[in-house]
Amino acid sequence: MENKKRTIIDLFEESVSKYGGKDFLLEKHNGKFEPTSYGVAKSEALRTGAGLCALGIERGDRVAILAEGCNNWIISELGLLYAGAISVPLSIKLEEANDLMFRLKHSDSKLIFVSKYQLKKVRAIAKELPDLKHIVVWGDVDGGLQEGEISLETLKTMGDEYLKDNAESLRAVAESLKNDDIATITYTSGTTADPKGVVLTHRNYTANVEQALSVVNIPSSWRTLIILPLDHCFAHVVGFYIMIACGATVATTEVGRTPMETLKNIPINIKEVRPHFLLSVPALAKNFRKSIETSIRKKGKTTERLFNLALKTSYAYQADGYTKGRGWRCLLKPAVMLFDKVLYSKVREGFGGELNFFIGGGALLDSELQRFFYAVGMPMFQGYGLSEATPVISTNAPTKGNHRFGSSGRLVKPLEIKIMDSEGKELPVGEKGEIVIKGENVMAGYWKNPDSTADTVRDGWLYTGDMGYMGKDNFLYVLGRFKSLLISSDGEKYSPEGMEEAMVDKSPLIDQIMIYNNQNPYTIALVVASKEGVNRKLDELGLKGDARYAEAAKLLGAEIAKYRKGGVYGDEFPDRWVPAVITFADEAFTEQNGLVNSTMKVVRNKVEKHFAESISHAYTAEGKAIDNERNIASLKRLLG
């Protein structure tokens, strides 16, 4: 296995020879999704790669991409790989000039592909990037192109000219690529220091495609709609490289003039494309659930009550997924099937009617959320991975016996795993420690950062920095980042992420939460109230003026109290770690204020710094009262 030559170009060429005339890409033009076949995508990628060669891009040069997901994104990356270059995918969520400049300088990128919507960002810093020789722009630009900029069409025309005399030399470059040649440098979010460039090779990608397909099967007749940013390696591997391997079809979301417009296109595009599976992250999953519940609520109280009864019945029937329908639960099957026909099938129509499942990546996905989507017939299978592992390490999957709510699923194959304690000793099954893995998907290292590389990859083993354990059932259970751990005054440690996910998911009144304890006498929660959920509740109670905010504080306190001993969810988490005191944030954690990263994960150290005064106040005598002046003032600002 390890000696097999299989670069991304090999993977693509294999599929073009098998599926040449079949639809590979779908993109919306003039009001409908239009297909591009595997064969046409290859010729466009070759034109792009040849154009890069004509501009002087050589094997090993770095070429950046800063653009919304579209056909051009995928074809341009394939094109630069044909030319032997290295892709530097960049997040369009990079708003600060310094963030973008750091990545372009650090990677020594010589050329950047940029959409017309992102061009302004590149123009603002181009003069400070002496290595950046060319800017290739997608789409028509108001005011025309400037010096150093060319259109993608011009690049492809140059490619046509280049191919007349140099087709063989371009082919020779592509064929000479080896497994350990670098394919991409993917920058991490940089939540604690400068971002690190994760170096992933061609074989890292093709190996991870093979590994992922050991647990999930994708028929060639399937379609997906990529709703996550294409710069993520999760979108690379599961969004389009797996699809290429299987000869399946990839649609991209219609790009709007603004990020909000693109977001609004997602539900419309889902209905149009009718995907068979979707990639998701917890933040998106929560939005999907909210929109489903809102549409049910709009149908009136009777429908809402029926839907809640259907959910209860389905939850009882499916248990933890793994033991679905066993024992006495089989008696519930007729009722579940009836609810499916009457209610859930209508919900699925909103997702195109052909959606078999979601694959969830990113942060931990609360098991309650998993139960909900499983019940409505669109299971959301939690997976686990990180960029340094290209990224897939494990996933729950549709096949019988391969999913269990609350777990991160079965390991992909082949892959070795160890759970290690802080002394570097391997722990037995069931004991929690650091997740350490070894396989062909482990990154080559961090770009220009040998110290971090040596610290993270030792003897081929990747030290993930995540805490978890292997269950006796052979499922992996991921508990959270070591850097997120709560540490009590007596030194005991606990991961808060599962608790945070549960509290946000189960409460319509809480939008975001960060649980905190840094060797303090008790744990606190910093809560971002749901403006919509809390105000709706207060309106139902008929409250006006300042009385609203004192009541809001009590309502939110009651939501947390449900997890204490004797509460509805009192047995879910150790009582000593459930927050004893609550402090309220006066603003949401957003990308704009830097408190969440591009994958919508809370950046804990930044939240702690931003709300340092509120956190300190929670450890005072006055701060213990939930309706203290500071809390009321914060709720007033947030709820308006």
pLDDT in tens, 80-128: 999 999 999 999 988 778 889 999 999 999 999 999 999 999 999 999 9
In this structure, what DSSP letter does residue 103 have? H
Please tell me the predicted confidence (pLDDT) of residue 193.
Answer: 58
Which pLDDT band holds residue 248 (cuts at 50, 70, 90)?
very high
SS3 per residue for 443-501: CCEECCCHHHHHHHEECCEEEEEEEEEECCCCCEEEEEEHHHCEEECCCCEECCHHHHH
**Can you give the pLDDT at residue 235?**
92
The pLDDT assigned to 360 comes to 84
pLDDT of residue 1: 44
For 401-454, the pLDDT digits (tens) are: 899 988 999 999 999 999 999 899 999 999 999 999 999 999 999 999 999 999
Q: At what angle do helices 367-375 and 301-318 cross, to 10 degrees?
A: 110
Give the span between the Cα atoms of 192 and 139, in whole angstroms: 36
Distance CA 425, CA 421 (A): 5
Q: In a 10 Å sphere around its CB, with 0-12 CB exposed, 13-18 middle and 19+ buried, how is residue 427 labelled?
A: middle
Closest CA to 443 of 458, 430, 433, 425: 458
User: Which H or E element spans position 121?
Assistant: helix 119-125
**What is the average pLDDT across 335-344?**
93
What would the DSSP string read from start to end of 271-287? Answer: HHH--SEEEE-HHHHHH
What proportion of the chain, given as a percentage, has pLDDT over 70?
A: 98
Using 50, 70 and 90 to split pLDDT, how confident is the model at 362?
Answer: low
DSSP H helices, 30-70, are 38-54
Q: d(Cα 524, Cα 514) in Å, to the nearest integer?
A: 9
Residue 544 has pLDDT above 90, yes or no: no
CA angle 565, 568, 570 (to 5 degrees): 30
Q: What is the pTM of this model?
A: 0.85
Q: Which helix (H) or strand (E) holds 579?
A: none
Please say if the pLDDT value at position 535 is more than 50. yes
User: Which of 127-131, 365-369, 529-533, 582-586 bottoms out in mean pLDDT, i.e. has the lowest?
Assistant: 365-369
pLDDT of residue 190: 54
Q: Please name the amino acid found at residue 12.
A: F
Instruction: Please tell me the distance from the alpha carbon of residue 620 to that of residue 524, in angstroms, as a whole number.
Output: 12
Domains in the chain, start-ordered, CATH in brackets? 8-250 (3.40.50.12780), 276-483 (3.40.50.12780), 485-639 (3.30.300.30)
* Rounded-to-integer distance, Cα 584 and Cα 302, Å: 35
Q: Crossing angle for the helix pair 38-54 and 152-176, nearest 10 degrees?
A: 90
| Cα 170 to Cα 40: distance, rounded to the nearest angstrom | 18
Q: Apex CA 21: angle with CA 16 and CA 27, to 5°?
A: 95
Question: Does residue 334 have a cis peptide bond before it, meaning omega lies within 30 degrees of 0?
Answer: no
Give the DSSP letter of residue 362. S
Is residue 260's pLDDT more than 90? no
CA-to-CA distance for 534 and 517, rounded, in angstroms? 26
Average of pLDDT values for 370-399?
A: 93
CB 537 within 8 A of CB 527: no
Instruction: Calculate mean pLDDT across residues 62-77.
Output: 97
- Please give the average per-residue pLDDT across 490-510, as a whole number: 87
Angle between helices 531-540 and 629-639 (to 10 degrees): 100
Please give the average per-residue pLDDT across 180-199, as a whole number. Answer: 84
Distance set, CA 400 to CA 180, 235, 358, 375, 403 (Å): 36, 25, 16, 16, 7
Q: Which two tokens stand for residue 61?
A: 């040069």
Average pLDDT over residues 487-492: 79
Which whole number is the average pLDDT over 196-207? 97
**For the ranges 281-285, 465-469, 490-494, the one whose mean pLDDT is highest:** 465-469
Of 97, 45, 100, 99, which is closest to residue 72 (Cα–Cα)? 45
Q: Phi first, then psi: what are they for 401, rounded to 5°?
A: 80, 5
Residue 191: pLDDT over 70? no
CB 7 within 8 A of CB 202: yes
CA–CA separation, 424 and 236 (whole Å): 33
